[in-house]
Amino acid sequence: MPTSMPPVPVLNPNEAESRRLLTLMLERTVYLLQWIASHPQEFVDGQHHHNVANAVDDLTGQLYTKGGWRALIAEVPGDNLKSAGLTGAQLELKFEAFQEQFQAFQKRSAALESGYEYLNQRLMRLEGEKFHSDVRKRPQSAAGRALELGETVLGSLAAAGKGALAASGGDAVIEIAGELSSSVGILIKSKLHD
C-alpha cells in the first residue's frame, strides 16, 4: 500500500518575518548590483561599465540617507504589504525563487573567481570556444533572473508604499532601485545574446 508523502514544511511568515525577508531580499538585490558594478566586464558591455558603477553608487547613497531597506519597509503599513503580495505564502514563494537564483549566482561566480585563468585555458584546449562561452554565461543568467525577481518585488513595494513613503522620499528610492535592476538585467541579457 503506497504511503502518502508528508506535507512540505513552509515558512508562511507573519508580518514581522515578512518584513525581515523582504529586507534581506532587497539588500541582496543591491548586493548583486554592487557585485556587477565591481565586475562589469563579465556582465555588461564595456561602454556601460562606468554608467552602471555610477548608478549603483547613487542608489546606495540614496538608500544610506534613507536609513536602508529596513527603515523604508518599516514605513509601509502591514495591510499594504499584504495587499501587494509581500507577506505570508506569496512573499515566501517570491523569496524562494529569488534565493534559488541568488545562490546559483554565488556558486557560479565563486567558481569563476577561484580559478578563472586556469579554467579558461583548460576549457579552451579541451572543449573549444562554445563550451567555454556557455560556462561563462551561467553566473550572468542567474544574476539576470535574480534581478528580474528583485525588480518584481520592488514594483510591488512601490505600489504598497504609495502615499506612506512619499513624505520621506522613499518611494523615489524604491522606484530607482527597480528601474536600475531592470536596466542592468537588460544589459546582461544583451551581452548574453551577443
In a domain, 7, yes or no: no
Mean pLDDT of the chain: 85
**What pLDDT was estimated at residue 142?**
86
Encode pLDDT of 67-82 as tens digits. Answer: 999 999 999 999 999 9
Confidence class for position 140, pLDDT limits 50, 70, 90: confident
In a domain, 1, yes or no: no
Q: What is the mean pLDDT of residues 20-37?
A: 94
Whole-angstrom Cα distance, residue 8 to residue 19? 23
Whole-angstrom Cα distance, residue 26 to residue 95? 10
pLDDT above 80: residue 136: no
Tell me the residue range of the domain where 85 lies. 15-39+47-193
Q: What one-letter code names the amino acid at 17? A: E
Cα four-point dihedral sign 133, 139, 145, 151: negative
How many domains are contained in the chain? Answer: 1
The torsion angle over the Cα atoms of residues 45, 51, 57 and 60, rounded to 10 degrees, is: -80
Buried b vs exposed e over 135-150: b needs ≥16 C-beta within 10 Å?
Answer: bbbbbbbbbbbbbbbb
In a domain, 8, yes or no: no
Residue for cell digits 548583486?
A: 32
Whole-angstrom Cα distance, residue 151 to residue 47? 23
Contact of 155 with 192, CB cutoff 8 Å = no
In a domain, 9, yes or no: no
Confidence class for position 102, pLDDT limits 50, 70, 90: very high
In a domain, 5, yes or no: no
